[in-house]
């Protein structure tokens, strides 16, 4: 059953949000003023998302050319099963401009969504707490009443009231900060006052942040607590900071700071679009359910994904840190500046970032040769998962945000999706790919899109029908095996659906296969069951060079097989090809397309192999 989209009845434009943290009692309270438009039919209620909290008061004011008019509230109802709060009015609310004010309160829980505590111990062994947020995919509604859908973009003006003496971070820089007196009334047994309550004065820290850009609720974030940082500045003047708890050594922040700074510089150049905010904070959290989260301007991480301890951290972990930082930084454009309209296109955010993390890290650290890791890690995971009967496709309809965690198969949505976008980049050429992305970001900045909007931009840049090329790969599970037959200069390619269990393969399924051949007369793409051509010379023809396509290759000519073994043994073939040729042989044998004997004979050609990614598949 599809969830009702609240954006279809109220479209927010700005939130003035105040949140007070009661750290001692693990509670929060606040006030939100939402300016926006009621759309659709007249009704006697306005509905907002709210989950696990209580809205204690509400006020609705209609705004038009004549001025303002308050609508009397009849009642406030909470509907837990729908995660909604409904403000019912005495009179009819017609479409138009409104300001809705709500006061609310709730508990801070350990569930690592909404507002939650992060526990850690300082140098003296004393337990400390940070307070952080995790709003993706639909957990902003656990922190304040809102229209908690990605299409409901708005500007946020956030004020936090916290304990004194802590760092307070959010998406944008601090506009104003200072101590305030806060008088509170609490019941005290034996108090002399007639009310039985005692007035106490607390001193709190009040922090107001600069307004955010127009963005989705799931990207709003804040972190408070005892933190320290290392800072740098990009060539374009963006302030970059890496934060961790004060128990973490300062030098553990250096590597991530270098990667974070250079990632912004790389993507600004690659996309041709400036980083949209004046600062970028990267925060290592002691307790965090995901690997990292791309909150705009305030990216949060597990500590082990951000901190590099000199002399202790392995090369593999350093590479992982660099890839994750680049992944989250790419989201600042793809996902944050331009956001999917609904969660069924969230795959596009993650597939894109999966591919771009390798693009950026390869530019920063070419000696690491991370594209080979991309093929060995992402490629093999995608192939082996995608060969399973009944596995999901990359694009899956999402009826309710609760489904996201169950639908997101990392080997498909991240790994396969990233491989498909890398395949597309090579199909249309990197110059057209960059040109299309720049146009896409410029045209749709601060708004929402569907996958077809990206295909349109890339089609215009490349003069190729990108949607027709990509949709069969994305909207169906699986991939083909391409059989290559050669007699002298006569070449024949045929494709069929590959599965570990061939009896369950779909004999009618075809893909637009980019050939990527070492032969000038080869077709660029074929989407039929078979294609033939005459080669320019009588020498072995190989396809999917560079392992750029998401398909297996079955070479049927004895001469071609011998040629490949010689090229592997002499390491004349690139690492990517050596890796994928062996993987193809093993997967073909497992599915019964050939014998394991052929795979073992091929394996002897790897006797002198020196590549770590190739040894991963061996």
**Residues contacting residue 188 through CB under 8 Å, at least 6 positions apart:** 196, 197, 198
| Strand 53-64 versus strand 96-107 pairing type | antiparallel
Cα 576 from chain centroid (whole Å): 26
Cβ–Cβ under 8 Å, residues 479 and 550:
yes
Q: Across-strand partners of 29?
A: 20, 105
Best CA proximity match to 7, nearest among 56, 48, 64, 43: 48
Residue pointed to by tokens 């505590």: 117
Cβ–Cβ under 8 Å, residues 419 and 379:
yes
Q: To which H or E segment does residue 382 belong?
A: helix 380-386
Residue pointed to by tokens 């062994």: 125
Q: Which residues are catalytic?
A: 328
What 8-state DSSP symbol labels residue 605? G
Cβ–Cβ under 8 Å, residues 552 and 585:
no
Scored b (16 or more CB within 10 A) or e, 98-134 reads: bbbebbbebebeeebbbbbbbebeeeeeeebbbbbbb
Tokens found for residue 597 = 């004997």
Tokens found for residue 107 = 């508990």
Helix (H, G, I), strand (E, B) or coil at 256: helix
């Amino acid at each position: 059953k599809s969830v009702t989209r609240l954006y279809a009845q109220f479209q927010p434009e700005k939130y003035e949000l105040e949140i007070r943290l009661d750290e001692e009692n693990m509670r929060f309270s606040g006030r939100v003023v939402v300016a926006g438009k009621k759309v659709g039919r007249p009704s006697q209620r306005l509905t907002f998302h709210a989950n696990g909290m209580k809205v204690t008061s509400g006020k609705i004011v209609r705004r038009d050319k004549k001025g303002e008019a308050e609508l009397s509230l009849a009642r406030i109802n909470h509907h837990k099963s729908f995660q909604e709060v409904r403000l019912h009015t005495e009179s009819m609310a017609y479409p138009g401009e409104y300001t809705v004010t709500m006061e609310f309160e709730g508990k801070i829980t350990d569930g690592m969504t909404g507002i939650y505590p992060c526990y850690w111990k300082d140098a003296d062994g004393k337990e400390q707490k940070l307070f952080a947020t995790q709003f993706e995919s639909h957990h902003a509604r656990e922190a304040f009443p809102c229209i908690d859908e990605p299409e409901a973009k708005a500007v946020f003006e956030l004020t936090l009231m916290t304990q004194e003496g802590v760092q307070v971070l959010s998406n944008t820089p601090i506009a104003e900060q200072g101590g305030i007196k806060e008088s509170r009334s609490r019941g005290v047994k034996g108090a002399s006052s007639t009310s039985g309550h005692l007035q106490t004065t607390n001193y709190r820290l009040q922090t107001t942040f600069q307004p955010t850009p127009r963005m989705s609720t799931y990207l709003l974030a804040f972190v408070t607590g005892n933190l320290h940082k290392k800072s740098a500045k990009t060539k374009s003047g963006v302030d970059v900071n890496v934060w961790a708890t004060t128990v973490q050594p300062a030098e553990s922040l250096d590597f991530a700071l270098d990667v974070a700074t250079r990632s912004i510089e790389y993507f600004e150049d690659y996309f041709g679009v400036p980083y949209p905010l004046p600062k970028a904070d990267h925060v290592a959290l002691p307790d965090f359910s995901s690997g990292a989260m791309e909150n705009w301007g305030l990216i949060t991480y597990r500590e082990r994904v951000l901190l590099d301890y000199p002399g202790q951290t392995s090369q593999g972990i350093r590479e992982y840190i660099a890839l994750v930082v680049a992944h989250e930084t790419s989201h600042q454009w793809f996902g944050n500046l331009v956001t999917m309209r609904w969660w069924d296109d969230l795959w596009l955010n993650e597939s894109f970032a999966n591919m771009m993390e390798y693009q950026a890290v390869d530019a920063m650290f070419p000696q690491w040769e991370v594209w080979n890791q991309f093929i060995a890690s992402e490629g093999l995971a995608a192939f082996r998962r995608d060969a399973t009967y009944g596995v999901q496709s990359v694009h899956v309809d999402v009826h309710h945000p609760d489904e996201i965690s169950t639908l997101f198969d990392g080997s498909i949505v991240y790994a396969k999706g990233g491989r498909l976008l890398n395949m597309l980049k090579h199909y249309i050429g990197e110059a057209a790919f960059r040109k299309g992305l720049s146009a896409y970001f410029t045209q749709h900045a601060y708004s929402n899109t569907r996958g077809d909007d990206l295909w349109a931009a890339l089609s215009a840049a490349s003069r190729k029908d990108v949607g027709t090329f990509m949709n069969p790969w994305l909207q169906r599970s699986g991939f083909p095996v391409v059989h290559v037959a050669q007699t002298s200069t006569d070449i024949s390619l045929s494709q069929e659906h590959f599965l570990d269990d061939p009896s369950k393969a779909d004999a009618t399924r075809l893909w637009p296969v980019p050939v990527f051949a070492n032969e000038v007369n080869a077709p660029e793409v074929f989407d039929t069951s078979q294609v033939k051509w005459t080669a320019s010379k009588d020498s072995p023809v190989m396809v999917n060079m560079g392992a750029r396509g998401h398909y297996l290759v079955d070479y049927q000519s004895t001469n071609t097989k011998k040629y490949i073994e010689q090229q592997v043994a002499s390491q004349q073939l690139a690492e990517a090809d050596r890796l994928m040729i062996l993987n193809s042989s093993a997967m073909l044998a497992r599915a019964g397309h050939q014998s394991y004997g052929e795979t073992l004979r091929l394996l002897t050609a790897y006797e002198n192999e020196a590549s770590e990614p190739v040894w991963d598949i061996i």
